[in-house]
Structure 1
Amino acid sequence: MDIKQLKFLVALDETRHFGHAAVRCHITQPTLSMRLRKLEDELGLELVLRGQRFEGFTEAGLRVLAWARSLLAAHDGLYAEAAACRGQLIGTLRLGVVPLAGFDPMHLVQLFASQHPGLRFQLFALSSEAILERLARNQLDLGLSYLERLNRDSFTCLELAPTRMGLLHDRRHFNFATPSLNWQALVTLPLGLLSSGMHFRQSIDHGFRSRGLVLQPLLETDAVHQLLQAVGVGLCCAVVPIDSGLDSLAAHLDLIPIDDAQTLAPLGLILRSHAPRSALADACFNEAKRLLAPPADG
């Protein structure tokens, strides 16, 4: 058994496709299949359910997969730890971010990249539940998510400022004479929103419902880029976090605050509490704390 076989197994789990897993691992599909069968022979277990295509993992395969993830995390952590001992920070930082986060994750990425040129980054747009699950399984290093259901025994967090909401619009299609808008004014506008069930959308629904207002969005989507496209063509306006950075993506976009509008739960940067945890995750979390710390008085 070698570390590459474990990487192949994890890649198959993440892609759910033999061909895609092979491409990710920069090998041919027959080589991937051969190496996985060799792993099965060495362990004396059937790990993968095979038909004409990938059909999933056996019960034993799922148990082995969990160990494979832990071993790979320890392997990557060892190299990151060695680099940290040399005063370097290398590797890939995996950051999970909820859609329409009230903090621009590029602030963190820019900070880490400027301080550590050897770092690479993977960003994943995920639900709060998926972020916590992947952090627990060591599939993410850090998460930018809501803290409503956070288990403080399992995770360490840096709580950020409350997420305030505003109305994103294109000045070529919409103009507002007031410095802010109330919830009643939003009822008359064509609105584009994230799909129901997402935390940010739940906060919007609560804002309307608690004021006895009926929300009838023109457009609903689970993709932020589609929301921005709809705003850009003048189809609708969108309720988004004020500090998301979305209004800076184009000169004709503007963001006007909504009175008394913020998410139901605070946003935070989340780190897995227990080992195995990489030096990379620790270092970036600590740098984020310094970046986001309130200025000292005086």
Structure 2
Amino acid sequence: MDIKQLKFLIALDETQHFGQAAARCNITQPTLSMRLRNLEQELELELVKRGQRFEGFTAPGERVLAWARTVLAAYDGLQAEAAACRGHLVGTLRLGVVPLSSFDPLPLLQRMHQLHPNLQFVLSSLSSEQILEQLSSNQIDLGVSYFERLDATRFQALPLNETHMGLLYDQRHFQFGEHPLSWADLMDLPLGLLTGSMHFRQSIDHNFQSRGLQPQPLLQTDAVHQLMQAVQGGLCCAIMPLAGGLEDLGDTLRLHPIEDARTLARLGLIMRNTAPHSPLAQVCFQLMSTGLDLSEK
């Protein structure tokens, strides 16, 4: 067994296609199939369901796949740790961010790229639950999530600024005065909101309900880009992070402040306390601690 075989297995899971997995790994499809069969023979287990095309993994295959991810993450961490001991960083910084946070990852990535040009980056939009799960399983190095119910024995967190809310609208379709809007003002508007399972939506609901208000959103979606398209099309307005920079994505988009509007919990930059520790995450924490403003624009 070698690391490449585990990489082939993971590539097959991510592409769900033998040919695409082979292309990603820069090998031929027959070579990929042969190497995976060698792995199965060594483990004395059938890992892959085969037919005319890829049909998924067997139950033992799913368990081996989970271990493969852990082993590969540990291998990458070992390489990064060795490079850090030599005075420079290599590898991939894997960062997960909750949707609609006021955290802008670009300054962090730009600074890390300046200091360590050989680094690569993977940026994922994940729920707060997914971030903690993937931190625990070493699938990501850092997360930006809410402090709510965070286990301090398992995770280390650096607080970011509070997330305040504003109303995102397209000025071709809506106009507002200079003063901040009240929550009652929003009741007369066609609103587009994220679905109820998302933390940001739960904060919105709390702000309405604590004032005795029950909005009837025109549109609900779990996709931020669809919400943005609906706003730009004039279908609705949307409650968004005030400092998220979303208004910069279109010439006609504007963000109007809402009175006393903030999320229920604060955001934090989070990494795991348990081994294996990520040297990339530790460098990010150090950058943050020494004054790099990553929290809000």
Q: TM-score, normalised by structure 2?
A: 0.91
Match of 1:203 in 2: 203
Q: Give the 3-state SS of the residue equivalent to 1:27 in structure 2.
A: coil
1:42-86 deviation line (CA, Å, top 9, x unaligned): 111222334455444344333333332232122212221222223
Q: Which runs of 5+ in 1 are unaligned?
A: none
Q: Separation in 1 of the partners of 2:64 and 2:11?
A: 14
1:73 match: 73
SS at match of 2:213: coil
Amino acid at match of 2:151: N
Instruction: Name 2:263's counterpart in structure 1.
Output: 263
Give the letter for the 1:74 counterpart: A
Task: State the Cα deviation string for residues 189-224 of structure 1 (Å, max 9, x = none).
Answer: 111111221110111111112222121112222222
Cross-structure match for 2:163: 163
Please say which of residues 140-149 and 112-121 is displaced more in the overlay: 112-121
Deviation at 1:162, TM superposition (A): 1.6
1:1-298 alignment to 2 at 5 Å?
1-291=1-291
Residues 101-129 of structure 1: per-residue CA shift (max 9 Å, x gap): 12122232222223222222111111111
Paired residue secondary structure (1:244): coil
Provide, for residues 226-282 of structure 1, a one-character-per-residue CA deviation record: whole Å limited to 9, x for no partner. 222222222221111112121222333221111111111111111121112332222
> In structure 1, what is the Cα distance between the partners aligned to 2:102 and 2:143?
13
Q: Does the 8 Å contact 1:73/1:276 carry over to 2? A: no
Cα distance in structure 2, aligned partners of 1:137 and 1:33: 27
**Is this contact kept in 2: 1:76–1:278, CA < 8 A?**
no
Q: Decide whether aligned partners of structure 1 residues 103 and 31 sit closer, same or farther in structure 2, where only a CA change above 3 A counts.
A: same
Counterpart Cα distance in 2 of 1:9 and 1:113? 30
| Closer, same or farther: CA 98–291 of 1 in aligned 2, 3 Å | same
Gaps of 5+ in 2: none
Q: CA deviation at 1:7?
A: 0.9
The one-letter code sitting in structure 1 at the alignment partner of 2:4 is K
* 1:180 and 1:259 in contact (8 A); partners too: yes
If the length of structure 1 is used for normalisation, what is the TM-score?
0.90
Partner of 2:89, secondary structure, is coil
Please give the alpha-carbon distance, in whole angstroms, between the structure 1 residues aligned to 2:22 and 2:204.
42
What is the RMSD computed on CA atoms of the aligned residues? 2.1
Q: Provide the identity percentage.
A: 65
- 1:188 & 1:26 partners in 2: Cα distance? 56
Aligned length: 294
Name the aligned partner's letter for residue 270 of structure 2: I
SS at match of 1:193: strand
Choose 239-248 or 23-32, whichever is displaced more.
23-32
